[in-house]
Amino acid sequence: MRLDSPWRVADFRTLFSAAVLSHLGTNVGYVAVPLIAVEALDASPGEVGALVTFSTLAFLLIGLPAGAWVDRMRQRRVLIAADAARGLLFASVPVAWWCDALTLGQLYAVVLISGCATVFYDVTGQSILPRFVGRDGLVQANAAVVSLMAVTNVAGRGAGGGLVQLLTAPLAVAGTAVSHLASAVRLLWLKEPPAVTAAPATPRREPLRAQIAAGVRHVSGNKELRALALSASLTNLGSQILNTLMPVLFVRELGLSAGVLGVYWAAGGVGLLLGSRCARAVASRLGHGRTLGLAGLLLAPAGLLVPLVGHGPWLWIAGAGWLLAMFKTGMDNVLGVSLRQRMTPDALLGRMNATFRFLLTGALAIGAAVAGLLGELAGLHPTLWVGGALLATAFLPVFLSPVRTRRDLPAEAPRAPGSGLPAPEPAVPVREA
């Protein structure tokens, strides 16, 4: 299917508008939930780290089988159920707080179970997109989605900080609940895409373990996909170490308000937005691979400015470093996601996306745990330098891989002869840019 614009597809517009609501809620909660732990429950750095770990732990627990399940399920229903579940779970937080019964244990349970719903929402959303817009519309559609994520980072995290100041953190979480429930209602207008015919080598009744293994082999057996996965995982690891301790640093050590923290995080959203909007234009001139390589080489070192955060000009310097690092991430998200979707056949999209989400969000869980542990043992600032160093060097796997020499996206996913599955290495020409 060839489209001048994915915006001509009614289902893409429905999916996008629901995602606006869902991402806004997620970003309000991103600010409000750890501040509940810090301000309302007097949590230590280790306890905050544990909270953030629980919020992403689901990707390590069910991330891989979720891809196989999504490939066999009605994906519209999965999206609706995931958003409805998240809305109800977050609604329990202000209710418990109002009844003076809120505990860290409940927060841990809410973020863990809602994380399970997020696994299915994220994997399904990335898997359903090519079936609505076609593979020729992927770059433009992914640019729109990443831009959306960036805008909601700015609006949601800025609003989250403001709502915490005005209403307290537990009541701000009510906004998260309402946004997810509204997204679930909007998705009722989404049509179920046509079912994908499974490849001969992966029949519907094949054991779950074998289906999961096919997705893992597809990613691990391809040099370009391996490099994309490793770079993105290291980026997530470094950024999560930094972000996990920011509420403790801003509110407790620097004495800054929740609003200032929200603005700082919103600066990263501005970077994501600018990077996502520039990605397509720059890649059309330099090539997709060279753009990914140069963006990493020139922008990733800005991550070393983030640990300098402090009072006065140091806050602005750290904010600028965070913006530049997220600019690079915005470009990576558009071009890297489009590349991996184009290199994967429809029957494997769910498992490929689940493998990436397992690695990328698993890195978030590990990063939060590392941040909590190092924050307790070594202190806040040495831990921030660990995160900054990881963020600054995460581009190297892509820069040193064949991705850097790729000029265009592949025309279609390569397949191994007679198997219906992708070959271990892409059988597409790689031209020097």
Determine the angle formed by the axes of helices 104-133 and 313-342, rounding to 10 degrees: 50
- Residue 162 backbone phi and psi in degrees, to 5: -65, -40
- Separation of alpha carbons 326 and 312, rounded Å: 22
Structure tokens at 30: 């991103």
Structure tokens at 406: 């790729």
H helices then E strands: how many in the chain? 15, 0
CB 327 within 8 A of CB 291: no
- Separation of alpha carbons 391 and 306, rounded Å: 10
pLDDT band at 409 (very low <50, low <70, confident <90, very high): low
Task: Return the H-helix or E-strand segment holding 47.
Answer: helix 45-56
User: For residue 341, what pLDDT is reported?
Assistant: 77
Which of 37-46, 66-75, 112-121 has the lowest average pLDDT?
A: 66-75
pLDDT in tens, 83-117: 999 999 999 999 999 998 999 999 999 999 999 99
User: For residue 408, what pLDDT is reported?
Assistant: 63
pLDDT band at 405 (very low <50, low <70, confident <90, very high): confident
Residue type, 392: A
Structure tokens at 237: 């690891």
- Name the H helices within 168-186: 169-186
| DSSP class of 196 | P
- Name the H helices within 202-348: 208-220, 223-247, 258-286, 288-299, 313-342
pLDDT in tens, 219-243: 888 888 999 999 999 999 999 899 8
pLDDT band at 163 (very low <50, low <70, confident <90, very high): confident
CB 327 within 8 A of CB 271: yes
For residue 250, how many C-alpha atoms fall within 13 Å in the half-sphere facing its CB? 26
Q: Which of 91, 146, 95, 94 is nearest to 113 (CA)?
A: 91
CB 72 within 8 A of CB 204: yes
Domains detected in the chain: 6-189+207-405 (1.20.1250.20)
Determine the angle formed by the axes of helices 138-167 and 10-35, rounding to 10 degrees: 30
Compute the average pLDDT of residues 120-140: 77
Structure tokens at 428: 């597409």
pLDDT in tens, 276-311: 888 888 888 888 888 888 889 999 999 999 999 888
- First-residue to last-residue Cα distance in the chain: 28
Give the chain's mean pLDDT: 81
Q: Which of 24, 53, 1 is nearest to 371 (CA)?
A: 53
Q: Is the pLDDT of residue 45 over 70?
A: yes
Compute the average pLDDT of residues 107-130: 87
